[in-house]
Amino acid sequence: MKISEQAVFRWVVIVALAAASIAAVTLLTTPLVGALWALALVLAGAWHAYRWWRRRGAAAGGPR
Amino acid sequence: MESATVALGHAHEEHHGPPEANQSSRIDRQTLGILLFIISEVMLFGAFFASYFFLRVVVHPPTWPPHPYELPVAVAGVNTAILVSSSFTIHYALEAIRRGNRKGLKLGLVLTWLLGATFLFIQVNEYVHIGFSARDLAFGSIFYGLTGLHGAHVFVGLCLLSFATIRAFRGHFGRDPEKHLGVEVPGIYWHFVDVMWLIVYTAVYIL
C-alpha cells in the first residue's frame, strides 16, 4: 500500500462504516453486544493487516 | 580545492556542508515524517483510551456515565457527521489539484476549514452546556481529557489547513505529486483526526 492521502481516505471510509455498524448494533441491542462487535471488527482488521504485511514481505522477496 | 576541481575537468558544482542524507526511494520524507508523527499521536491517544477503559471496565462504577451526568449523543453525532464530511471535502480538494483544478482545490480547502471550525465551535459549546467539569469525578477528567486532546488536534489541523489554504490562494500548488505535498500532508493529518474522532465518539458516546 502506497502511503498517500488517497490510501488514507479509503481507511476513513472503512472506519466510518465500521463505527456506524457498531453504533447500530449498540443502539439496537446492548452496549455489551456493541463492544463485542467492535472487538470482532478490530480482530478482523488486525488479521487483515497481518495478511497484508506477510504478502508484502513475500512480494519483496523477504523471508516468509 | 578549486584548482583540483578544474584540473579534473569537472563541471559540476561543489557541494558544501555535510553529505546528503540517505532517503528512501519508496516514500518521500514529508510523507514519512507525518506518518511517524501520526503513529506517535496514536500512542498518546492509546494511553488515554487505556485510562478510559480502565475506569469503565476495571473500576466499574454502578452506572456509566455516573449519575446524574448525561452525554449529548445526538449533538455529538451531528458533530461526527460534520467532521466526516470535512474528510470528503479535503479529499475533493486533493483530487481537484491532481487534475490541475486550482479552483476545486481552493473550494475544498475552504470548506474543510469551515467544517473543522464548526466542529470545534460545537465541541466548545458542548463543554459549556454539558453540566459537569473535568473536576467532577474521574469520569469528568477522562471525558474532558480524551475529547479535549482530540480538540487540540483539530486546532492543530486547522492551523495546517490555514497554511495550505493561504498557499493555495497564492497559486503555490500544482498537478504533480511533489508540487502539492503542502496539501497532501495536512490532508493525511486531517484524515487521522477524523478517524480518531470516530473511535472517540464510538467508545465514549455510543458504547
Contact by Cβ (8 Å): B142, B55: yes
Distance from CA of B26 to the nearest CA of A (A): 8
Q: Does B38 touch chain A (CB under 8 A)?
A: no
Position B79, amino acid? N
CA distance B90 to B94: 6
By Cβ distance, the residue of A5, A12, A34 closest to B184 is: A5
Contact between residue B150 and residue B196 where contact means Cβ atoms under 8 Å apart: yes
Domains and CATH numbers, chain B: 27-57+73-206 (1.20.120.80)
Residue B167 contacts A, CB cutoff 8 Å: no
Say yes or no for a CB contact (<8 Å) between A38 and B202. yes
C-alpha cell at A14: 472503512
- What pLDDT digit, counting tens, does each position of B40-77 carry? 999 999 999 999 999 988 888 888 888 888 999 999 99
What is the rounded distance in angstroms from the CA atom of residue B136 to the CA atom of residue B138? 7
- Which of A4, A12, A23 shows the shortest C-beta gap to B202? A23
Read off the amino acid at residue B80. Answer: T
Give the model confidence (pLDDT) of B79-131 as tens digits. 999 999 999 999 999 999 999 999 999 999 999 999 999 999 999 999 999 99
pLDDT at A58: 67
Q: Do A34 and B206 touch (CB under 8 A)?
A: yes
Q: What tens-digit pLDDT sequence spans chain A (64 residues)?
A: 567 899 899 999 999 999 999 999 999 999 899 999 999 999 999 999 889 888 877 665 555 4
For A12, name the nearest residue in chain B, comparing CA atoms only.
Answer: B195
The ipTM, to two decimals, is 0.83
pTM of the model: 0.86
Residue B38: its chain A contacts at CB < 8 A? none
Nearest Cα of chain A lies from the Cα of B187 at a distance, in angstroms, of 6
